[in-house]
Structure 1
Amino acid sequence: MSSEIDAAGTLAAGGLVAAALDKQDAKAGEVQTICPNCETAIIGHYCHECGQSAHLPRSIGHIFHDIIHGVLHFDSKGWRTLPMLALRPGTLTRDYVEGKRARYVAPFSMFLFTVFVMYFTFAMVGGPNVNFADAVQLDPKSVEAAQQELVSETERLKALEAKLAAARAKPEPVPGEAAELKGQINELRTEIGIMKATLGTMGVVPRDPENPDAPQPPDWREALAKAADTDMKVDTGNPGLNAKLRKALKNPELLFYKMQQSAYKFSFLLVPLSLPFVWLLFPFRRNTHLYDHAVFTLYSLSFMSLLFVFAVLLARIGLISFPNAMAISMFVPPIHIFVQLKGAYGLSVGGALARTLLLSIFAIVVLVLFMLVVMALGAA
């Protein structure tokens, strides 16, 4: 966090220095009467030919203004766009598609702004503090069944390992027997590692098959690292990537940190991943173009990002619990999607409901694809 604070301090100090220098440079940026860009006589505040401003500042302060405006792109349009994005997303999308654009922040600019807000917020206050033990109500019977399944799978693993040792010890080994047993063992070890990690994340101590009455408290990170350190099956079709993923899984915390950084950097990939699925909702509508779907997708992703930041902030400062934050992040998006679909595409209630259901399923697919890409990028 110290690096982010230092960066913020540097930016603030730079702004103060620029303000001081601007006072010494009052003549910088005089109003032009002939446009330097196209050499047209300027009437008013802007050139009527190319649109360039008649006032061309030449001050350090303006550089910082350009930086802040370029990153945030948030002026009076933002205060008009945000309420529309939250309460009337369908109208916002339709207005922008139909050409009423001067009053709103452009979809891609809004998307970049929300990504910046998410990155800055989580850099300063930390990301979601996930505690599955508090987030879910565990059924004791289900936990006991999972513990028993873990014990039986561990015993099955030992039996397969004994079979493999016996197969290798045969004077005349059966062709393919050892390889088949090895494959079964790898798959079973992966399943056991996942089971231990799942129980660990839910605050449950996986039962030790050797000593069920005195289990050693494990950590899900340790379980995942141990599984990766053995023979966890990782098959992406690329041997080099497989090795990198297996190596990265040995240090889960570092991998998740890299995934978080990659998620910010490559968040724009959500747009091309989402577009085909949005197009599938309207495959035969002639008056709807891919551009319309892109505007819909960008505004929708912008709202989801801000909603997630809002829910996490409320949970981090203690105003709501983590389960309530999860509920907000799960139940508000379908409502927003319904309202945006109905308003943007002029759908009936039934048509919007059906497409909301489909798009909610598609969104899960897109998130899984995006996380796979982010994991591969984080490992690589």
Structure 2
Amino acid sequence: MSKSKIRNDKTCLNCRYVVENKFCPNCGEENTDTRKTFHHLFIHFFEDLTHYENAFWRTIKNLLFKPAALTKEYLSGKRLSYLAPVRLYIFISFITFLLIAIFPGKINSSEKTIEKKSTITTKNKSFQNIITKNDSVKKNQTDSIEEEDGVQDFGFNSAEQLDSVQTFQDFGDDSLEQLDCIQKNAPESKKLSDFSYWMIKKFQIVKDNNTQSEIIEKFISSFTHNLPKVLFVFMPLFAFFLWLFHNKKRWYYFDHGIFTLHYFSFLLLIFLLLFLINKALSPFTESSFITFIQIVVNFIGIGWMIYYFYPAHHRFYGETRMISFIKSSLLFFINFILVLIILSIFALYTFINLH
């Protein structure tokens, strides 16, 4: 450790407590000269950096290869040798978000331009045909309401125009103008409900303003950028189910929360590593050997993510292997279903809010 001259004044500069030694017994402030040399600042910075790196790499090593070791060490009181759980999660989440933002997926701009022109041309032709047919029907329409095969004609040919309603119900490729026209003029029995109309309109706006490639690119980008946020929101629920499945007197919700932070930090870290590996290998995917390596790495990474929860649960809660396997399997299944539901809702929200 670097040496600093102790102040002659024995009054702590931080809390005004009388200091007999180098550190204040009341607040821990160092009672040394506040004016430091450049040499001292450099040495102090180096010591802090070395300590952080040691703690960081020790934390990462235990997180990846020793399930539940970090949680047990933290709850036993050994905390200075590792990064704090909240800091660890925020750090990994930040790095994940940053690197995904730096290395987004890209699609060739010329391909997108050609695809967009083709899509617009097709939609315009389709809409013009519909308008032409609709106008011809309206010219021959009388004041009386005729029924054809049990379907009333409100300006639409029942055999052709009403098929367009079904097309929209099946998320077809028609234009937003056609959707509004159908919703306005179609028979009441064939009109979409308010929610269906709102939902399909949102989808149609996205499709009108983007090509298929752009939709995929924007969706993946938005989804991956916000995945850490979804996981962060889900963590309290994960800890709650752990609390439900275990002894309430022996384990507090706080204990389950620390376990959850470490587990989700592990998931994000593996996700980040797989992302970086796939990005690094993507320029060489034409090689069958590199493709094979990529598949093997992804298989091992995803397999370890799935299996990791069982040994972590068994080692932390100290139950028999059979009990731990049953509980961890149930917990994994329940949380997997909940994650799918949350991600599906989030995916739908992401899609309808694309621009």
TM score, norm. by length of structure 1: 0.55
1:331 aligns with 2:303: yes
What value does the CA root-mean-square deviation take over the aligned residues? Answer: 5.1
Q: Deviation at 1:354?
A: 3.4
CA distance in 1, matches of 2:196, 2:15: 54
1:185 aligns with 2:189: no
Distance 1:119 1:282, change over 3 A: closer
1:352 to 303, 328, 331: 328
Q: Residue 18 of structure 2 corresponds to which residue in structure 1?
A: 41
Alignment partners' CA distance in 2, 1:271 and 1:264:
13
- Matches of 1:57 and 1:372, distance apart in 2: 58
C-alpha displacement at 1:118, in angstroms? 1.8
- Alpha-carbon distance between aligned partners in 2 of 1:237 and 1:306, rounded to the nearest angstrom: 39
Check whether the contact 1:93–1:344 (CA below 8 A) recurs between aligned residues.
yes
> Within the alignment, does 1:270 sit opposite 2:231 as a pair?
yes
Letter in 1 for 2:269: L
Structure 1 residue matching 2:244: 3-state secondary structure: coil
Q: 1:121 — aligned with what? A: 99
User: What is the alpha-carbon distance in structure 2 between the residues aligned to residue 276 and residue 374 of structure 1?
Assistant: 22
Which amino acid letter does the alignment assign opposite residue 187 of structure 1? Answer: Q
In the alignment, is the contact (CA less than 8 A) between 1:275 and 1:294 conserved in 2? Answer: yes
Contact 1:278 1:293 in 2 (8 A): yes
Matched residue SS, 1:101: coil
Superposed CA deviations along residues 207-260 of structure 1, whole A, max 9, x for unmatched, are: xxxxxxxxxxxxxxxxxxx88897599999699998777545533638855873
Question: How far off its partner does 1:85 sit?
Answer: 0.7
Does structure 2 retain, via aligned residues, the 8 Å contact 1:277–1:362? Answer: no
Verify the 8 A CA contact 1:128 1:312 in the aligned structure 2: no
Match of 2:82, as an amino acid? Answer: Y
SS state at 2:81 partner: coil
1:77·1:104 contact (CA, 8 Å) conserved in 2? Answer: yes
Which residue matches 1:279? 240
Write the distance in 1 (CA, Å) between the matches of 2:226 and 2:337: 25
Q: 1:177 to 1:312 in 2, by over 3 A?
A: same
How does the TM-score come out when normalised to structure 2?
0.58
Q: Is the 8 A contact 2:89 2:265 kept in 1?
A: yes
State the alpha-carbon separation in 2 of the partners of residues 255 and 246 from structure 1: 15
The 3 A distance-change label for structure 1 pair 260 and 99 is farther
1:258–1:182 CA distance, 2 compared to 1 (3 A): closer
The Cα shift of 1:116 comes to 2.6
Counterpart secondary structure, 2:68: helix
Percent pairwise identity: 19
Counting only pairs closer than 5 Å after superposition, residues 153-164 of structure 1 correspond to structure 2 as none
Alignment of 1:89-100 (within 5 A): 89-100=67-78
Q: 1:111 aligns with which of 81, 84, 89?
A: 89
Query: Structure 1 257/88 Cα, relative in aligned 2: closer, same or farther at 3 Å?
Result: same
2:314 aligned partner = 342
Q: CA deviation at 1:36?
A: 2.4
CA distance in 1, matches of 2:25, 2:177: 67
Give the Cα–Cα distance (whole angstroms) in 2 for the partners of residues 34 and 235 of structure 1. Answer: 76
Change (3 A) 1:284 1:86: closer
Give unpaired runs (5+ residues) of structure 2. 108-125, 147-151, 184-191, 285-289
Q: 1:35 to 1:298 in 2, by over 3 A?
A: same
List gaps (5 residues or longer) in structure 1.
1-28, 131-156, 194-225
After the TM superposition, which residues 45-124 of structure 1 pair with which residues of structure 2 at under 5 Å, given as runs?
46-54=23-31, 74-124=52-102
Partner of 1:296: 259
Describe the superposition over 1:88-141 as per-residue Cα deviations: whole angstroms up to 9, x where unpaired: 2323223324543333211121111112322343355x24689xxxxxxxxxxx
CA contact (8 A) 1:341 1:356 kept: no
Please state how far the C-alpha of 1:38 moved relative to its aligned partner: 1.1
Q: State the SS of the aligned residue for 2:314.
A: helix
